[in-house]
Amino acid sequence: MRLSSANINVMVKACRKASKTLIRDFGEVEKLQVSLKGPGDFVTASDKKVEKILIEELQKARPNYSILSEEGGEINNDDSFKWIIDPIDGTANFLHGIPHFGISVGLEHDKEIVSGIIFDPIKDEMFTAEKGNGSYLNNQRMRVSSRSKLEDCIIFTGGPHHTSKDRGLALKEYNNFSSKVFIPIRKLGSASLDMAYVAAGRCDGFWQRNLNYWDIAAGIILVKEAGGFVTDFKGKNDYILNKSILVTNSRINKEMIEILK
């Protein structure tokens, strides 16, 4: 079985087309690592190129939908439907030639994410989900893991940025979790893929502060449709407003909330 609704098909087509540019540019970035100037400007251009292709494809298919994107800001049309776009989530990995980053596209309907895609073009892994129809990885149904003991789990996080006002707090949380799990905390550098990995059962939980909406939009529906929980650090639904997100397989949710207190 696979997801094949009209909106999912539109999103898949847009991501596939944009990924061709991204894969080609990634090959060039690897060469630019040895140059004196470095790949920074090149990566910024790649971000914008990928975003332009995504927006063109999505607007062609759904000209009335609004758009929120990382680079381009907002395009306001029909506010009941809105695409949420992150052209390269994991930009630092991309910049350093590390093959772990993704294209993320979520679809919001009446302020709720109802469809999402996270596409890892280097590994050719397409994570898709739609409200009421489940989560899939390359057309195979995904479910969150069933581990119930935090000490046995693999936990992901990201940040903090060196200028973050919550840097001390984030490091304290990291230390608290590190003392509770046998396997060291992982930091892979792409929040959207972190969430996709929770949905796929590869990882059991993920927490992070100060993420933007486009970082998490597609991941929200992926995790929920795979049977996981998405909350803020207090177990509430204010994760978009307060920019603190906790994603779990549902079995370790309460335990993670206790540590984050």
The residue ranges of every structural domain in the chain are 6-141, 150-260
- Furthest CA-CA distance within the chain: 51
Query: Is residue 13 pLDDT above 70, yes or no?
Result: yes
Mean pLDDT of 102-123: 97
First to last CA, the chain: 41
Mean pLDDT of 35-53: 74
In Å, what is the CA distance from 154 to each residue of 96, 123, 196? Answer: 25, 21, 14
Q: What is the pLDDT of residues 132-169, one digit of tens each?
A: 999 999 989 999 999 999 999 999 999 887 778 888 88
Mean pLDDT of 89-111: 93
Task: Decide: helix, strand or coil at residue 104.
Answer: strand
Looking at residue 33, what is its pLDDT? 56
b/e map of 32-56 (b: 16 or more CB within 10 Å)?
A: beeeeeebeebbeebbebbbbbbbe
Task: Decide: helix, strand or coil at residue 127.
Answer: strand
Query: Is residue 34 pLDDT above 70, yes or no?
Result: no
Mean pLDDT of 239-244: 88
Taking the C-alpha atoms of residue 7 and residue 191, their distance in angstroms, rounded to an integer, is: 23
Query: Is residue 80 pLDDT above 70, yes or no?
Result: yes
What predicted TM-score, i.e. pTM, was given to this entire model?
Answer: 0.94
Looking at residue 40, what is its pLDDT? 59
Task: Decide: helix, strand or coil at residue 161.
Answer: coil
Helix extents (H) in the chain: 6-32, 40-61, 91-95, 167-178, 191-199, 213-225, 239-242, 253-260
* Residue found by looking up tokens 């049977």 in the block: 227
Of all residues in the chain, the percent with pLDDT exceeding 90 is 77
Looking at residue 135, what is its pLDDT? 97
In this structure, whether the domain defined by 6-141 belongs to CATH 3.30.540.10 is answered with: yes
Query: Is residue 39 pLDDT above 70, yes or no?
Result: no
Query: Is residue 37 pLDDT above 50, yes or no?
Result: no
Taking the C-alpha atoms of residue 178 and residue 182, their distance in angstroms, rounded to an integer, is: 8
Q: Which range, of 16-20, 108-112, 165-169, 205-209, averages the lowest pLDDT?
A: 165-169
In this structure, whether the domain defined by 150-260 belongs to CATH 3.40.190.80 is answered with: yes
Contacts of 195 (CB under 8 A, 6+ apart): 118, 206, 216, 218, 219, 220, 222, 223, 247
Instruction: Annotate 206-233 with DSSP letters as a single string.
Output: EEEES--HHHHHHHHHHHHHTT-EEE-T
The yes-or-no answer to whether 6-141 and 150-260 have a common fold is: no
- Residues paired with residue 140 on neighbouring β-strands, in sequence order: 137
Confidence bin at 232 (pLDDT 50/70/90): very high
Q: What helix, strand, coil percent values describe the chain, rounded to 5?
A: 40, 25, 35
Looking at residue 41, what is its pLDDT? 61
Looking at residue 36, what is its pLDDT? 47
Mean pLDDT of 82-111: 94
